[in-house]
Every structure is written in C-alpha cells, then in structure tokens.
Structure 1
C-alpha cells in the first residue's frame, strides 16, 4: 500500500495549486486524476485572475510566466443601448485583474510538479474513498490496469462538479443549494485580435454576449443561447454574425472573425454544497460549488478555497493545531456565498430571461441606467469583480 499525508483527487487548477502549496510547506501529497494530462490541458476555461489568486500563484512559485505573459486589465467595458461604457476598476478600487488562461496556469503547475518529482497518477480509474471518519483514510483506484490503495491522513476533493469526491458521500451528509438558468453560453476560441483592449460585456435584446481574450492574438467569445441549441447548428459564420449583431457599432466594427479552434455550449448553474468538510475529506473548487461564469469567479473561488485549506493543513502539521481545519468550511463558504450573489446579480443584469415580461425588462434597463450614472453602483460592481478581501 502506498502512503502519503494528503491525497488530492483531481489535477485541475485547484488540485495542482494545493499540491504546489503543500509541497512548499513540506507536506507530502499525491494527486489522482481521471483524465490524461493532455486532456486536462485541453480544457478551455476561465482566464481572469483576481490579485489574490495571482499572488497565491507567486507564493506557490509558479507565477513567473503568468507575470511575463498575462495581460493586466484596469477596467471592463459594458455594451448596451448601442453604446459602450467603461467601468474603471483601477480608479474605483485601486486594483486590476490579470488575464491568463486556465490551461496555461495548469501547464505551469504541471511542469513545476514534474520538475519537483512529485507523484501524479493520470488516468486513475474507479477512485473510491474509504474510512472518512477514521484516523487513517484510504483511497482505492485502478492505474495502468492494476488495483491500488493509497493510505493518507486527509483527502482534498478537487475533482469538479461531476467528480467522485462529493458523489461518494451519502445524501444525508450535506445540503445542496442550486439554481439552474434557462439558457447556456455558446463559446468560440479563435486566433484573432480582440476587438477591444478590455473585456466587453454586452446586454442586448437578442441576448447576452461577451468578447474575452486569452492573449493579444487569441479571443474567447460567447453568446447566450438556448439550452436546446446544438453545436452542429452553429457554423463559424453564423456565430460571428450573431455576435456582431449583439455588440455596439464600435466593438462590432473592430471584431475580426476567424476559424474556430474550439466551440462548445455550456449550461449555467449556481450550486453550493454545505458543509465543505466530511470527516477527513475537504471539498475545494467546483467539487463544492459552481457559479455562472458571468462574474469570472469560478477559478478565483477555487484559489481562495485552496488558500484556506493549504494554510489549515500547514497549521495542522507544523503547529499541531486543528483550528484552521475546523473552520475551513465556514471560512470558505462565507466567500463562496458572496461570489454566488455577485455572479447571480450580474447574470440577471446582462441576460435575457425567457419568462421576463415587459416590467422585468424595464427594471433591467433601469438597473443598467443606474449603474452607469452612479459612481457608488460602479464601485460595488468593481469591488466584487476585482475580488473581495480574503478573510483570515
């Protein structure tokens, strides 16, 4: 039987970042990942980092390329009513955000882990967790066709919404809060110049749109779509045409269509599991909660979960104190719910809901008008977008 101090389920950004921080603290850890490393890197996900998340990557020792290649954004653009207006993040809060793709972040963490000689088992199948309430827990899995066991002190479930960590728990062990949305996002990745220097969020009668980027030559653009839509119905030409129709004239004119490198449809969901601790299992990132991507909070919530958990585990092994572990769930959930509120409110502000009547639409327009005429309202949006302070 293998032995480690912390078993980490999932080699996404949460699991990899936790592994890096624990290694820096001298805590042995092993990562088990269902997919191959190539599949992990192929995931097209978030690309907006709050300052606290970027600093955590620096702390883990993997921030060099992020700092060299990431794009600092001091504002975001809102497009509605045929106009484009700017929210000055830096001027309103004194902070900015950093654009750096999640797959690049994972690449940096994977390279660092490999260079340090740390153990990651990719394509680990049939993972199951045992003895969560016992002094020693065991993870059973299959790797390279062989049944294996990994004994450990604690397990970090970082394997996402569909992972085994939460799915293996009895329904009575937790309570879930969920809200689905009656639409999805159709996203396209393409090598072309972004139509603006900052992200453009568009509210339009035809639906929401977003012009985001991964670099100065690669864009990630989205449009609100029906949950019944199918990818085969959306040619590149149709996507770019629909996107342009939802943008203000200046942004639309600057948009340069290009062949798609990746195209996908993702449903939107708000979801929270309470608590985030079950004996010796701790959930982090999407394994414990999901937010609509509108507020760019998913990756950043994973980072803050990992920050709290890494510090709690370090305190346990270094100081023989379990105070941090005892308050992990409450501490992480306080930040989770604030991000859930912001993501929900921004989604409600910018999307078209099929059940909205004329009154609802007028209220939405009034909210947008108020936002653009009130520095106080813009400050609230900016404070949440750049990231609320991390509690100690």
Structure 2
C-alpha cells in the first residue's frame, strides 16, 4: 500500500527511527530502513516542491551505485546514463583525458543530478509505505541520552506532535536542528577555509561529452552535464564575490577564455550563486541516540564530487546498524558508526583537498605564488604521464574502500 506524505496519528506517536531532513541523506536512510521493514518517520521543514528543486551534485560514484544495487534499488532511484569513466583536464587549452574508474568489477558511476535522485527516492519510499511529512516546523529533539528520544514538531495546520523513538537520524545539514541539539563541547569541529570562491551557474546550454576541469592563467573553470539539455558551470572567483558582480556577458566571456573554447554556446542562465570553498568534519558523529548523517556531520570541497556520496555512505552504514540492532540485537555497528564513517570522511577530505589545491594553484598564481603553482603543475604532469599516479587517482575517484569495515585508527 502506498504511503502518504502527512498521515498524522494521535499524539503521542512511536517509531523506531525519526529522520530529520528529506534530502539525499535522509531519504536514503528512510528508504533503506523501509527495505528492512523498520518503521520510521521523515520530517522536512520545507515543502515538497522546494526539496524537489534543490540542485547540487550530479554524479553518483561507483561505490554508491553498487550500494544501491546491493539493496535492490539501483533501477528505481538512479536515472541518467552511466558515466563513461573519463574526465577531461584542459590545461592552458591542451586536453588530457584521465580515467576515473580503477578497473574493478561492478557498475561504474552514474550521471544522476541530486534533484533526480531525491525525486526517485521520495517515490520509492512512499511506494513502500513510507511516512514523509513536509512543512514540519519548530522541530525539537529531547532525551537523547535516555532510554527513548522524543522529537516534537508543529504541522502546517498548527497541530503539535511528539514522536517517541529509539534513534534519531540527523540529516538536516550543518545548520539544522539535529546538530544544534548536541550540547556545546561534545563535538569537535575541524574546519578549513580554502581561501577560494566559486561562481556556480546553471544554464540551459549543451552539456559537455564528459566532465571538464580547466586550468588557465585566468583561473579555474569547470563544465559538467546536468541533463540532456543543461549544464553546470563553475568559475573561480574571489571568496567574497557576489552574483551581481557576474552579469551574463562576463560569465560567458570568462567561460570561453578559461575553457579555451571560443565557440562555447551560451544559453539561458537559470541559476547562479557564489560560495566559499570550505571543509568541516565533526567528531564524533553520534550523541546518544542521535546519529549525524551527511552534511550535518561534514562538509567537503566540491572537487571530486564527494559531498553527496559521503552522505550516501553514512546512510548505508546507519541503516545497516539499525537493522543489526532490530534483527539481531547486535549493537556493534551502532557503537562503531562514527569511527567507520570518519575513516571514509577523512580519506575523501584529503583527496578533495589535494584536487582543490592542484587545479587552483596550477592556474592564476596571484593567490598562491609561483612556487606553489609549479608544484601543482608537477602534480598534474605526474597524473597525465604516470600510470601509477593515474591508477591511484582513479581509485580515489571511484570511491572504493579496500577495507570498509575497519574502524578509524585509535586516538581520535
């Protein structure tokens, strides 16, 4: 029987898991829990239309594709063509093709924009009988260190509800109520500001045949497909730039110059924004009955496409941990959730930082200086000429972990 978005029972309610946030992390958690027959409720403060339109990541890496396959969900939630496993680096106009598949068996990455994944996860969750409640206001979390937690909220019609639960999955981002429910001093926040800004542009313009990263003396630029008739572009800019500083003519002129493509076709720009590249890791990712998932626990520079994929990895580990608890009374995976997630988080943070510094330092040296520029150019040269360096890059892009169940080293 299909679920409903807001089928509200009498207060008090009781479920095994309350999921806060209906982005990729929250909906993946909820959908996987439903596959295990575990009851949960998803609370989302925004409307369904708003959530469905949020556009961010566009590539589901091979590890995440294989995760969805292992749950029997890949055909239901992953639209879009397979990624052909090739990235193009264009350095001063010279093209270099680099494989981002490491040759391991199994499916590769898929070109699936975030809004498409969210739409498909929503449909799958509701079709499996899921309980998804939009426009949930004034959400508060209580009793996280007790025998049961309680999540309170107010529905769109003003009615207040309280849901008792065994676990809370905090999937509502860095500034959400989940992270804010953790007392001061419990989490250590490791932060890093890359000192780099990006202008990101979504346009109805022909996509490139493959993801393109361009290095030039004028700065970094990138061009990614976001569907059969749309593209996402990125332009390096000062960290404090505002979108108003980038009228359309300036955008297309900069893209044609930095991408070394004077004939690059323009198209209607449907969205533009600027942001600073920064990183955040919260340690631990658990407080009592609250488990932080995705951006609520970590932010990663967009280079390498790791942000959404890390959230999917967290969601998979959390869902399996709850399944083990409910089915087998085994809490091992719950106890080690934070350590296991953080091992992957730090690995992907390091790779993303390496790639961020490489493609930005290799271009305009007014920020980093000529010494770091030459180091970055040397790294690119090694990537383009050394099979060993190319293989290591492909493994990190693929997202494979040779020992996924080994916890992080002691001493965190």
TM range (shorter): over 0.9
Residues 128-186 of structure 1, C-alpha deviations (whole Å, 9 max, x = no match): 11111101100111112122211100000011111111122112111110101222221
1:1-392 pair list within 5 angstroms: 1-64=12-75, 69-90=80-101, 96-144=108-156, 145-195=158-208, 197-248=209-260, 252-253=261-262, 255-352=264-361, 355-389=367-401, 391-392=404-405
**Deviation, structure 1 residue 60:** 4.7
**Deviation, structure 1 residue 89:** 2.8
With 166-175 and 13-22 compared, the bigger mean Cα shift is at 166-175
Quick one: structure 1 residues 90 and 336, their matched pair in 2 at CA, closer, same or farther if it must change by over 3 Å?
A: closer
Q: Which runs of 5+ in 1 are unaligned?
A: none
**Deviation, structure 1 residue 387:** 0.7
Quick one: structure 1 residues 58 and 37, their matched pair in 2 at CA, closer, same or farther if it must change by over 3 Å?
A: farther
Do the aligned residues in 2 keep the contact of 1:75 with 1:96 (CA within 8 Å)? Answer: no
Aligned residues between the structures: 388
Do the aligned residues in 1 keep the contact of 2:77 with 2:124 (CA within 8 Å)? Answer: no
TM-score (norm 2): 0.90
Quick one: structure 1 residues 275 and 211, their matched pair in 2 at CA, closer, same or farther if it must change by over 3 Å?
A: same
**Deviation, structure 1 residue 63:** 2.8
**Deviation, structure 1 residue 235:** 1.8
Residues 239-289 of structure 1, C-alpha deviations (whole Å, 9 max, x = no match): 1110111113xxx14621101121122221111000111111101100000
**Deviation, structure 1 residue 119:** 1.3
Quick one: structure 1 residues 70 and 130, their matched pair in 2 at CA, closer, same or farther if it must change by over 3 Å?
A: same
Residues 42-97 of structure 1, C-alpha deviations (whole Å, 9 max, x = no match): 11100111122123334455432655533322110111132010002347656742
Do the aligned residues in 1 keep the contact of 2:34 with 2:125 (CA within 8 Å)? Answer: no
Do the aligned residues in 2 keep the contact of 1:71 with 1:215 (CA within 8 Å)? Answer: no
Quick one: structure 1 residues 40 and 93, their matched pair in 2 at CA, closer, same or farther if it must change by over 3 Å?
A: same
TM-score (norm 1): 0.94
Q: Structure 1: how far apart are the matches of 2:80 and 2:233? A: 20
Task: Determine which structure has the larger helix proportion and give its number.
Answer: 1
Q: Structure 1: how far apart are the matches of 2:282 and 2:28? A: 21
Do the aligned residues in 2 keep the contact of 1:93 with 1:379 (CA within 8 Å)? Answer: no
